[in-house]
Structure 1
Amino acid sequence: MSLLIVCPGRDPENWIETIRKKDSAIECYAYPEDHQKEDVEFALTWNHPRGIFKNYPNLKVIASMGAGVDHILSDPALPDDIQITRVVDDKMTEDMSNFVLTQALARLRKIQDYTKHQTEKKWDRTQYGRPQDTKIGIMGLGVLGDAVAEKLHKNNFQVYAWSRTEKDCQNITCFHGKEQMEEFLSHAEILVCLLPLTEDTRNILNADLFDMLPEGAYVINVARGEHLVEHDLLEMIDNGHLSGASLDVFREEPLPDEHPFWEHEKINITPHIASLTSPESVVPQIIENYDRMMDGKPLRHEVELEKGY
């Protein structure tokens, strides 16, 4: 039996080398090199070609290379009775927490404004904000959302959080369900999106939601580009209701050269780097799940398909 890596646009060599170093007994191939499709039972993937996995009659498990699985679940031609797993990694979780904290502090200290002033040779001081005086809202209380909320609390922010179902987090004011969304949003001077991408959350960052935020609120999206209705964000910034946004994810990546986000002075762009997967850190859990599959044991970090995460 063999493991297949499918990651168009990415170099799979580091993954292959790391897997072979950790367990030389695993027969590993990188798509589209020659391999026997009948031998493949486990696939490790990111943004696979749609419909490809229907060609593997004995495939049992599709493992995401990252925390997100929407790139897998969006394929309408997935094999029946397939198991799907995602990555849960302490290093990636810490990276995400640090990134969101960095963006929130940069907003309070107006770093983007001063970067612009530097290009203009403009010496202009303005008053900054402080974490203890700032209410920040986290949408999504999964592994990443929990960690981000805790990091922000430890750095003295007033933290609020919203999730689909009821959660009880120490030191965090929690809301849940559609009926509590508006109350949650009314507190979010900075709004952070860490939701999984599902049919319910697609386009959730829209004009109606933004309108429920306090005047001058700031948006940080580190989840998925499809959460955001882009023209709604631009309109709400340009009419003054939102003060700006920090975006790490986009509907189309890389962001096209002609996209209006590039030159908007109130939008900060980073190229999907809030939390990057390290093969050295992640491969041990991939190999563990491969062994569990071979032994008929329950998989770790398996996705609940009906929920989409």
Structure 2
Amino acid sequence: MALLYKSDPVRGARWKALFAQHAPDIEFRQWPDIGDPKEIRYLLAWQPPENIMDSLPSLEVLFATSAGVDQFDFDALPPELPVVRMLDPAIESGMIEYATFATLWLHRRMGDYVRQQREGQWQAHMLVPAAQRRIGVLGLGQLGSTIASHFAGYGFAVSGWARSSRQVQDVACYHGEAELDEFLSSSDILICVLPLTDATRGILNSDLFARLPEGAALINIGRGEHLVDHDLTQALDDGHLSAAVLDVLSEEPPADDHPFWQDERILLTPHVAAMTQPDSAFPVLLDNLRRHQRGEPMIGRVDPQRGY
């Protein structure tokens, strides 16, 4: 029985060592050295190969190396093939760290101070108490709920929105289209952690920005395809939005002439909010492998219709 790994080769070496130490009964193979494809039962991949069942005729489970699976083309995957997303605790902690950094960057106007330093200006700006800064978390799944709770601990006024009803302690929760306007109007800093689906693609657009308070700021740590780039630039130019922190873009890296590169109102980072770490992810993956071998439900199985 073999597992094929198809992702970053450097981290692949660590995955191989972990399997050798803790699960020697599962042979670890690394793409493109797949050996006999009929022996491969499991695939751990960022992006599966084309014609997956022709390439791997004995495949039983596709494990994603990421928490999100929007990079998968589910129309090209057999409907009966289970897809399981990565539930690495390091992803959650990394996203919380990044969301904290980005929010405090905006809350304490660090972008202004960096610009002033370059221009040789020494000027203080009025400090807004955390209780007077309203943080809105767009998406209240496991990650969004944890981030929202985290910010409540700072004393921020925190709200969150999801498509269906949620309850998060110390967080004002909104749901559905009927409550979206009220949520947006109370979000001085909007943090997007939505999954990417047909319903959320392009959701960060001019219509949504217009419903935020004047001077609001955006953080996108969801997916790049959530954002309509031109609409963000327009909202910044109009003065309705003040700043943005973007860790994801629809095209990564962006073209050399993309306006975000030179826009001082935007802090751009290269998709680094969180990364799967083999040492913390391995126990979760191994538990799912053993669950599958015992015929038990796997944790993190994706609903192809919902996309998460």
Q: Residue 109 of structure 1 corresponds to which residue in structure 2?
A: 108
Stretches of 4+ moved more than 3 A in 1? Answer: 8-11, 48-54
- Is 1:68 the counterpart of 2:60? The answer is no
Question: Structure 1, residues 115-149: CA drift from partner, whole Å, max 9, x if none?
Answer: 12222222222223221111111011111101100
Distance 1:248 1:34 in 2: 33
User: Letter of the aligned partner of 1:156 in structure 2?
Assistant: G
> What is the CA distance between 1:5 and its match in structure 2?
0.8
User: Does the CA-based 8 Å contact 1:70-1:197 persist in structure 2?
Assistant: yes
Distance 1:241 1:203 in 2: 19
Deviates more, 1:42-51 or 1:299-308: 42-51
User: Letter of the aligned partner of 1:79 in structure 2?
Assistant: P
Q: Residue 225 of structure 1 corresponds to which residue in structure 2?
A: 224
User: Does the CA-based 8 Å contact 1:217-1:242 persist in structure 2?
Assistant: yes
Distance 2:142 2:156 in 1: 19
5 Å matches for 1:119-138? Answer: 119-138=118-137
Distance 1:10 1:264 in 2: 34
> What is the CA distance between 1:12 and its match in structure 2?
2.2
User: Does the CA-based 8 Å contact 1:7-1:48 persist in structure 2?
Assistant: no
Distance 2:125 2:19 in 1: 52
Distance 1:181 1:53 in 2: 42
Distance 2:119 2:94 in 1: 32
Q: Residue 285 of structure 1 corresponds to which residue in structure 2?
A: 284
Q: Residue 250 of structure 2 corresponds to which residue in structure 1?
A: 251
RMSD: 1.6
State the aligned residue count: 308
5 Å matches for 1:10-25? Answer: 12-25=12-25
Question: Structure 1, residues 133-188: CA drift from partner, whole Å, max 9, x if none?
Answer: 11111011111101100100000110110001111122111111111111111111
SS of aligned partner of 2:285:
helix
Distance 2:51 2:203 in 1: 28
SS of aligned partner of 2:91:
helix
User: Letter of the aligned partner of 1:240 in structure 2?
Assistant: G
* Percent pairwise identity: 38
- Provide structure 1 residue ranges, at least 5 long, that are not aligned to the other structure: none
- Provide structure 2 residue ranges, at least 5 long, that are not aligned to the other structure: none
Distance 2:118 2:5 in 1: 44
Distance 1:46 1:38 in 2: 21
Question: Structure 1, residues 198-257: CA drift from partner, whole Å, max 9, x if none?
Answer: 111111111111111111110000010011011111111111111110001111223333
User: Letter of the aligned partner of 1:150 in structure 2?
Assistant: S
User: Letter of the aligned partner of 2:304 in structure 1?
Assistant: L
